[in-house]
Amino acid sequence: MKMFLISDNVDTYTGMRLAGVEGVVVHREDELRRELSRVVSDGEIGIVLLTEKFGRDYPEVVQAAKERRVPLFVEIPDRHGTGRSKNFITDYVNQAIGLKL
């Protein structure tokens, strides 16, 4: 099972390539949708890393991707830092399992 990165910037892409993770750089919503469709159809990809900017710019696209069971979609901070709220872990668990902690 492989990891794959969909990034909005070359710096994050380059860093992940140095760590052995393949990926692409996209800037527009249509490019993001095309890459998401491609990785979902690739049976070898088990984890897709998305830079957080996509979650801010295209929340409905990212949320729809996260609702899939396979592959697992994970938002990662990019060179601009994290845009996460203070309680993002608790919020994520609440959303994932449907329990309020």
Q: Domain range spanning residue 93?
A: 2-97
Judge whether residue 76 has pLDDT over 60: yes
Q: How many domains does the chain have?
A: 1
Query: In whole angstroms, how far apart are CA 10 and each of 17, 24, 49, 85, 89?
Result: 10, 9, 14, 25, 27
Q: Dump pLDDT digits (tens) for 38-54.
A: 999 999 999 999 998 99
Q: Which two tokens stand for residue 48?
A: 């897709």
- For residue 2, what is the enclosing H or E element? strand 2-7
pTM to 2 decimal places: 0.78
> What confidence tier does 87 reach under pLDDT thresholds 50, 70, 90?
low
What CATH number is attached to the domain comprising 10? 3.40.50.10580
Sign (positive or negative) of CA dihedral 60, 29, 72, 12: negative
